[in-house]
Amino acid sequence: MSTAQQLVRPGVGAGLADTFRSRFLLKLLVRKELKVRYRGSVLGLLWSYVKPGVQFIVFYLAMGVFLGLNKGTENYAVYLFSGIVLINFFTEALGNAARSIVGNGNLIKKIYLPRELFPVASVWVSGVHFFPQLVVLIVACVFSGWHPSLLQLAAAVCGFILVALLATGLGLFFGAVNVYFRDFENIVDLLLMVVTWASPVLYVWTQVRNTLGAGFFAFYQANPITIAVEIFHYAFWYPTTSGTAELPPHLVTIWLPVGLAVSLAVVVIGQFTFRRLEGRFAQEL
């Protein structure tokens, strides 16, 4: 029997490579998710502007005005929103990816198609919602005197890729495990509830260093979400300041590669777990 004719275990594909080979199916799933989400909606994709806008106003009033962080942080509004758009992308991507297999159970039980398509499509849909928020952020930065360098723009792209990889890896892991133990939906919800506070979105990183010490700060800074948020601050907020704002040392040269390495490791773990469990998805669903 030739290599091409060798039997394979039913229900198990070639992993994430199948999503690349099935790009047409991926596009169909993304379109389907967008149509289902906004079916019967008057505003449609405009909700991508409304929701983060309301979130920004609430956080700005609570943290910036009432707690006075806008006085100690130059251009606090840009600082806050550059972190919020990235956190929104991650929380939406992971939350939907973790439920994507269970949510598409009827389709999975009827036909075989690469199961990785579902969590990956969830991340892509979140990317579609991320783009309008990014446009608003860029407009706000331009009005604040934004003059980024090519390095800062390239770093922002890497920061987005870092978060997309992390969301994909965790989405694969939780999406697969959630088929067997539905408690993991609640675990993901808890994780997403604290992610905004576990990264310097509402506050500045120096508060963590000065309060908890350098030892804990190294552990805190190794969080890929923290690295990505600071990268976005470096790319969007820092060029609007007077240049006296303090950024974490070695952010681009050391921490960004660390974050990318951690995210890639999470993708490998997520893909391994997914492939180990996907063979019984149809039966469990």
Number of Cβ within 10 Å of residue 34's Cβ equals 17
Contact between 78 and 72 under an 8 Å Cβ cutoff? The reply is: no
Residue 2's pLDDT is 47
pLDDT tens string 158-186: 999 999 999 999 999 999 999 998 888 88
Closest CA to 240 of 72, 71, 56, 75: 75
Contact between 230 and 200 under an 8 Å Cβ cutoff? The reply is: yes
**Domain extent listing, the chain:** 10-284
The helix/strand count (H/E) of the chain reads as: 14, 0
> Quick check: helix, strand or coil at residue 201?
coil
Closest CA to 157 of 102, 90, 51, 236: 236
pTM: 0.88
The beta-carbon contacts of 204-208 under 8 Å, at least 24 apart in sequence, are 204/69, 204/72, 204/73, 204/79, 205/230, 205/248, 206/246
Residues, the chain: 285
Which parts of the chain register pLDDT below 50? Answer: 1-5, 7-8
Average per-residue pLDDT for the chain? 85
